[in-house]
């Protein structure tokens, strides 16, 4: 598992979310990532909060 920033582009703008992901292998398709938890919008989470969440993993 690892933290990453997932981007979502909508008509109203681009959004970035902090998510916990894992690498998985899907038979016939290859490897991909699966999101385990969405921790919220990066703009609404402070930098110190993000570091605390990541350190707590």
For residues 3 and 15, the answer to whether their CB atoms sit within 8 Å is no
Q: How far apart are CA 49 and CA 44, in angstroms?
A: 10
Q: Is the predicted pLDDT of residue 51 greater than 80, yes or no? A: no
pLDDT category at 43 given cuts 50, 70, 90 is confident
Evaluate if residue 52 carries a pLDDT over 90. Answer: no
Global pTM value: 0.71
The domain locations on the chain are 2-55
Q: Kindly write down the DSSP assignment for every residue of the chain, as one continuous string.
A: -EEEEEEEEETTEEEEEEEEEEEEEETTTEEEEEEEEEEEEGGGS-HHHHHHHHHT-
């Amino acid at each position: 598992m690892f933290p990453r920033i997932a981007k979502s582009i909508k008509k109203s703008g681009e959004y970035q979310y902090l998510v916990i992901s894992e690498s998985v292998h899907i038979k016939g398709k290859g490897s991909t990532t699966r999101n385990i938890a969405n921790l919220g919008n990066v703009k609404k989470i402070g930098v110190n909060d993000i570091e605390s969440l990541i350190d707590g993993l």
